[in-house]
């Protein structure tokens, strides 16, 4: 500062603190710092600011306090009433599994909570591992991707892909497929398995059959564990499927009602809202790709479309011939395909509730089942012939199949595409070993499967896992045959 009697700030540049003030006239006149400090003390006293702690020091301080507190988080509030009284283990049937000794009828509330937690850990151990693995490896994957020149956005898109791409190049001719322990080996069905279906997360598989039971298995390794089973009295299961993103299971039979099973709570309820007293059977149905819309092939050529949440009718469509099978196209929930016993194929727009395209399946004597995925539509008939159509060509007015598959000579019973429509599996229940897998890029059947021995039983149903790494086949012997596909990661 200018002037003989001005003041000047004394700053410690290393710590960023103001040490004091001094007159500009005194600058350079003090021979040592002691005289300067004495003057500052006389004028201002011993006032100094404390330098703020750095972020790393704050983190160390928090860590020390956490260790002193025991290293764990404590509950902010505890309701003492939750610990008073007891819970009966015999009044509700689903709580009887919590009993640890014969004759035990009740436990304290705290013990009840502990047993519920233990039961949950045992039942759902391993579920959700994909999320934990993704969280643990995401940072490492991003670092490796940056080192290899991959952008962060590309890496994130690759991590978020719910269906892994092929780990090997899938070519025609032969397929890498290996038999694994039966998916339902923990508890085989006592009758034919009519339905198998994978949970969208891929770790659970359900089976349903004529023994009136719907079972869930965790198929994550060589030891497949049964998670839950539900007995449905007087209800031989014809079809069962996960809906609403895997939150519920819907089971059907030749009955004017359905059963709904909640996956989380394992509760089961009877659904009669769809029948209205007019439909005799709901045995044939399918869920849309999102699981939010249901379509049933009902009496007299009717197709009943319902909302999966409310189980209420939203549309009723009508064919000229009895409808034998229905399937949603993969694009959205608005387009439906129906297949009649006389081979008539109808494509419906559910927004307008009208048929925008119809044609007769080429060479069909009696239709059996229809399936669709991607750009493909497959129609299987009673003669063993499977016609595969291109949906784009059908929309353009053409009705000629792009491939006619004649590898089976008995009535087609079950068909399904894998997640990317690169594989197409189809089977016949009329004879043993009657199952094939088609490579859709070359439109040829793999020649090395199934093998002549051991002979597979009669195949009643089938399903690919969400990543196509596994294929499960239901049989007339009550078994769910399990196969690993080496071309797909999973």
pLDDT beyond 50 at 26: no
CA neighbor of 251 nearest in space, from 267, 271, 275, 266 = 271
| Helical (H) or strand (E) element with 249 | strand 248-252
Higher pLDDT, 165 or 279: 279
User: Is 206 a member of any domain?
Assistant: yes
Per-residue confidence band for 123, with pLDDT thresholds at 50, 70 and 90: low
**In the prediction, which pLDDT does 147 show?**
47
Query: What one-character DSSP code corresponds to residue 343?
Result: S
DSSP assignment string, 404-422: EE-S--S-EEEEEE-TTSS
**In the prediction, which pLDDT does 170 show?**
86
Place of tokens 């894998």: 418
User: Is 61 a member of any domain?
Assistant: no
**In the prediction, which pLDDT does 28 show?**
46
Structure tokens at 473: 């086949």
Higher pLDDT, 343 or 129: 343
323 CB neighbour count, 10 Å cutoff: 28
* Domain extent at residue 213: 177-485
277-301, pLDDT tens digit by residue?
578 889 999 999 888 999 999 988 8
Kindly list the strands in the beta sheet with 376-381, ordered across the sheet, starting from the edge strand earlier in the chain. 367-373, 376-381, 386-390, 403-405
Tally of domains in the chain: 1
User: Is 471 a member of any domain?
Assistant: yes
Per-residue confidence band for 146, with pLDDT thresholds at 50, 70 and 90: very low
pLDDT beyond 90 at 342: yes
pLDDT beyond 50 at 134: no
User: Is 413 a member of any domain?
Assistant: yes
What is the average pLDDT across 107-128?
Answer: 74
What is the average pLDDT across 72-84?
Answer: 63
Per-residue confidence band for 136, with pLDDT thresholds at 50, 70 and 90: low
User: Is 188 a member of any domain?
Assistant: yes
Per-residue confidence band for 106, with pLDDT thresholds at 50, 70 and 90: confident
User: Is 235 a member of any domain?
Assistant: yes
Q: Which long-range contacts (CB under 8 A, 24 or more apart) does 344-347 make?
A: 344/319, 344/320, 345/370, 345/377, 345/379, 346/319, 347/394
CATH code of the domain in which 227 resides:
2.130.10.10
Cβ(473)–Cβ(456) under 8 Å? Answer: yes
Structure tokens at 3: 């002037």
User: Is 130 a member of any domain?
Assistant: no
User: Is 76 a member of any domain?
Assistant: no
């Amino acid at each position: 500062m200018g002037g003989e009697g001005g003041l000047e700030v004394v700053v410690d540049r290393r710590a960023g603190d103001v040490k004091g003030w001094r007159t500009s006239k005194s600058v350079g006149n003090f021979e040592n710092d002691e005289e300067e400090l004495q003057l500052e003390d006389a004028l201002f006293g011993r006032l100094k600011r404390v330098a703020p702690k750095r972020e790393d020091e704050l983190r160390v301080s928090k860590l020390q306090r956490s260790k002193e507190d025991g290293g764990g988080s404590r509950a902010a509030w505890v309701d003492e009433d939750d610990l008073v009284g007891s819970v009966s283990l015999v009044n509700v049937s689903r709580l009887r599994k919590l009993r640890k000794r014969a004759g035990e009828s009740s436990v304290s509330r705290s013990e009840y909570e502990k047993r519920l937690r233990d039961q949950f850990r045992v039942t759902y151990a391993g579920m959700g591992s994909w999320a934990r693995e993704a969280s643990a490896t995401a940072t490492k994957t991003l670092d490796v991707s940056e080192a290899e020149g991959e952008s962060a956005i590309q890496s994130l898109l690759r991590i978020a892909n719910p269906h892994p791409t092929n780990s090997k190049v899938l070519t025609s001719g032969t397929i890498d497929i290996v038999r694994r322990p039966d998916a339902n080996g923990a508890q085989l069905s006592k009758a034919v398995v009519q339905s198998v279906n994978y949970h969208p997360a891929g770790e659970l598989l359900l089976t349903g059959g004529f023994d009136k039971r719907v079972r869930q298995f965790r198929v994550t390794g060589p030891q497949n564990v049964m998670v839950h089973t539900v007995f449905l009295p007087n209800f031989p299961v014809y079809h069962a499927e996960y809906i609403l993103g895997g939150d519920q299971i819907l089971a059907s039979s030749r009955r004017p009602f359905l059963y709904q099973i909640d996956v989380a709570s394992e509760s089961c309820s009877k659904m009669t809202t769809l029948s209205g007293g007019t439909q005799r059977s709901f045995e044939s149905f399918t869920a849309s790709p999102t699981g939010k819309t249901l379509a049933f092939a009902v009496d007299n050529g009717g197709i009943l479309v319902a909302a999966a949440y409310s189980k209420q009718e939203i549309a009723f469509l009508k064919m000229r011939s009895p409808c034998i099978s229905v399937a949603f196209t993969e694009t959205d929930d608005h387009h439906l395909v129906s297949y009649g016993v006389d081979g008539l194929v109808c494509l419906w727009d559910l927004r307008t509730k009208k048929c925008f395209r119809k044609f007769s399946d080429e060479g069909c004597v009696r239709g059996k089942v229809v399936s669709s995925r991607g750009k493909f539509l497959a129609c299987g008939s009673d003669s063993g012939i499977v016609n595969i159509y291109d949906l784009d060509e059908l929309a353009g007015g053409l009705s000629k199949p792009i491939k006619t598959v004649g590898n089976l000579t008995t009535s087609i019973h079950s068909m399904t595409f894998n997640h990317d429509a690169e594989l197409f599996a189809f089977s016949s229940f009329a004879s043993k070993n009657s199952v094939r897998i088609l490579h859709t890029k070359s439109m040829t059947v793999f020649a090395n499967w199934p093998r002549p021995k051991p002979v597979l039983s009669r195949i009643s149903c089938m399903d690919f896992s969400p990543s196509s790494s596994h294929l499960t086949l239901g049989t007339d012997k009550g078994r769910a045959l399990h196969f690993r596909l080496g071309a797909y990661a999973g």
